Chains A and B, each alone.
Chain A
């Protein structure tokens, strides 16, 4: 089923009777060449690129709930490639380029919107740091513009520039950053993978690994044993829990991050604003809701819900940045479990077990990475070699002293 404007018109005229489900719902086969654990954005993107780019179609994605029930459907949809360090920035810029061609590639409307992202700064020192970051972005082929306060006032006239604690002096803008519809991304990748023969198996929790002589032989699941000599784990916040079943301890803690959306409002914020100093960031969805969030709650959690102190902290950040937000009514808040790594950067690597690979540690920033993470993980699963942009995301980087610590806070997952 190909989506097009013509098709929409035709269906409208014929009572919308021709639409089909986006994917099949197959029973699991006894074995596959490659099994992917986790049907979130990263697992589905991995399956899609395995089939499309690497010609692997005896592939299954095993998801314990329904497709998109995890963080891919809970995030605040921001995409950007505004990192500083050489281990990160080329990877995220690769992801941004994939975002730019994604909808044509998938023939699916993922509502990719390059409305720009602006990180605010408040001191001379912070401006220097942002200038350096902008230069690093330009060197990696991304785009960046340093805005002074006057330029910022033209774009965002409603901010409180004279906050006593954090007066706004300017911002670093990435014009190509923006947002994408998170569910649409999951559905688009799922449909693309299914069309190419990948089995997407829902309600199929992986409960154990079968490992013989140091090599993976398959996975135990809620729907029986499924054989595979190559298994890729992409379970986001559950990485620690799932890899423990393979006897591995990871440099990861699971933490909860909350997000919020207001009632629908008239168009107001036409970009993404991050106020890092005040633990607050905001954008506006196409339905009109202000979508915003702040810091993680800060303690280990698998609960998929947070506590009130952080709600208060985020609301205070919003009030400090743009006092008019106090007039908006909150519609919903929710939480997701994220795998916070020890240096704040992800892992896409082999494990000590032959044929078992892990993709995790995405912290609060893995949505933007979805296309590149899927591509790089597919590359690793298909060729046993890391993709050129993901060579730094090794599991042993902590032991070797090659951490990728953007914030420079050390081995404290709740501070990244």
Chain B
């Protein structure tokens, strides 16, 4: 698999380590009444879809960036890749 790195162009997936569902970017708030249940779901439960999946890959043997890769789990076709940092900083709650 070739991952289209937004800064470096197509890179061999072997240069990356895989973490999993990109929803891991959505860390629950620790100070709400249902925080315990929310964290349990965050750590352990997954949608695990057959089809399009947004997932986190770490460019360990490259520029050490985290990417959100959109990939079809039925065909392994890679549909796109973005910098995870860009996604997080574009959120209203992270804006300063």
Identify the A interface with B (CB < 8 A).
238, 240-241, 244, 249-254, 298-303, 307, 309, 342, 398-399, 411-414
Contact = CB atoms under 8 A, between A and B. Distances in A.
Contact of A399 (B20, B40, B73): B40
Interface string B46-81: 111110010100000000000000010111100000
A328 B1 CA distance: 28
Contact of B50 (A302, A342, A398): A302
A271 B43 CA distance: 39
Contacts, number: 72
A102 B55 CA distance: 43
A300 B55 CA distance: 9
B45 interface: yes
B76 A303 contact: yes
Interface of B: 1, 13-14, 18-21, 37, 40-41, 43-50, 53, 55, 71, 73-76
A251 B14 contact: no
Given A254-B73, A303-B75, A307-B76, A398 B55 contact: no
Contacts of B14: 309
B48 A250 contact: yes
A307 B1 contact: yes
10 contacts: A241-B50, A244-B49, A253-B21, A253-B46, A254-B73, A299-B13, A300-B73, A309-B13, A398-B40, A398-B44
Contacts of B20: 253, 300, 412-414
Given A254-B73, A301-B76, A309-B14, A244 B44 contact: no
A252 B45 CA distance: 7
Given A299-B18, A299-B55, A300-B53, A251 B44 contact: yes
A225 to B, nearest CB: 23
B44 A414 contact: no
Contacts of B53: 300
A398 B42 CA distance: 11
B18 A414 contact: yes
A23 B30 CA distance: 56
A240 B47 contact: yes
A251 B73 contact: no
Nearest to B55: A300
A38 to B, nearest CB: 15
Given A251-B45, A253-B48, A303-B75, 9 more contacts: A241-B48, A249-B41, A252-B46, A253-B46, A302-B73, A307-B76, A309-B14, A342-B44, A412-B19
Contacts of B18: 298-299, 414
